[in-house]
Amino acid sequence: MLAFLSRSALMGVLTAGVLLLAFPSLRSQMFSPDAALNGQPDVPQQISFSYAVRRASPAVVNIYNRRYNAEDRLQLSTQGLGSGVIMSDKGYIVTNYHVVAEADQVIVALQDSRIFTAQLIGKDRRTDIAVLKIQAENLPVIPLNPDYPPAVGDVVLAIGNPYNLGQTTTYGIISATGRSGMSFYGRQDFLQTDAAINEGNSGGALVNTRGELVGINTASFQQATDIETYGISFAIPYQLTQKIMNKLIADGRVIRGYIGIDGREINPVMARLYDAEQVRGIIVMGMDPDGPASKAGFKVQDILVEIDGKPVTDMRNVLDIVTELRPGTYVDMTVLRNGKPKKLTVLIGDEPDR
């Protein structure tokens, strides 16, 4: 009997030891002086985003839009404000197109109190992105992580200069990705967030809890639609921002391919109506009469199913493929006409300014 009790006690001690090794938090709870004295659990650890703010905020700058006085062309006055993000130690700063579009002079104020006159490298109305450059050294650069995929529910922080109050941080979550049709200037995919974005935040940084750039803040729903709302704001995704920035630095503008068609996604019902077995594609509903597609032999009610060997799924997909094509190149496209495939060779044009 004594041997049985000894074995049981030994097994109990060994089990307790294994549990303490496997779950270290049990040790702190068992041996915490506060818990022992007060009979209460430890105070929960405080949740803070200060690490992310410390990493990202030095790279978010204030931008002031200055214009010449209509009555005195020698006098400049500040007409607008916004924010920007330092993307490179070479002095490249990304902001919104609408922040600097009408500016005669752009002033950039860093968080370390340095002030610079910025050079406008290029601007793109469609994506609402502009690139500035300042001549400076020891610049803080926003942390970048190309491998970070924004996901609905991720906590994000919006950093900018709302109403010229000074740098301000708000937080929320990513509410949706791939929002389109909300741009001031055309079709554009956005990240949607409930982090507050007010006037002056435009062009500032949307970052994750590691301080890495997620997007460039561009507008609230109210700014885009004049509808009174709260908690609906938009940002331009980092990947698109980086791509447009590189194009603006290389060419001073974004060169996009153009074929000049207007289309509508096809569905199974429409496929039967047009006597086509092909379900995926777009139906050509209209064309620029002097555009590349018209010159190549496209006709209204053709069903476009392939561009340069890539299958067509919808109108967004067509725009994405075509805008990446270099103007002046010939590209094969496949259409269904009267239910039969037909190949057309299109000379890609340069998208006109809108």
So which residues are the catalytic ones? 98, 128, 202
The alpha carbons of the chain give a radius of gyration, in whole angstroms, of 28
74 dihedral zone (left: phi>0; alpha: psi -120 to 50; beta): alpha
Calculated CA dihedral for residues 70, 71, 72, 73, nearest 10 degrees = 30
Q: For residues 60 and 205, give the distance between their C-alpha atoms in angstroms, rounded to a whole number.
A: 7
**DSSP annotation of 257:** E
Beta bridge partners of 216: 205, 236
Strands 92-95 and 129-133: antiparallel
108 neighbors 98 (Cβ within 8 angstroms):
no
217 half-sphere exposure, CB direction, 13 A CA radius: 36
34 backbone dihedrals φ, ψ, rounded to 5°: -65, -45
Ranges of beta strands (E only) in the chain are: 60-68, 76-86, 92-95, 105-109, 115-124, 129-133, 155-160, 168-179, 190-193, 205-207, 213-220, 233-237, 257-258, 261-265, 282-287, 303-307, 310-311, 330-337, 340-347, 349-350
Positive/negative CA dihedral, 218, 224, 228, 230: negative
DSSP collapsed to 3 states, 285-320: EEECCCCHHHHHCCCCCCEEEEECCEECCCHHHHHH
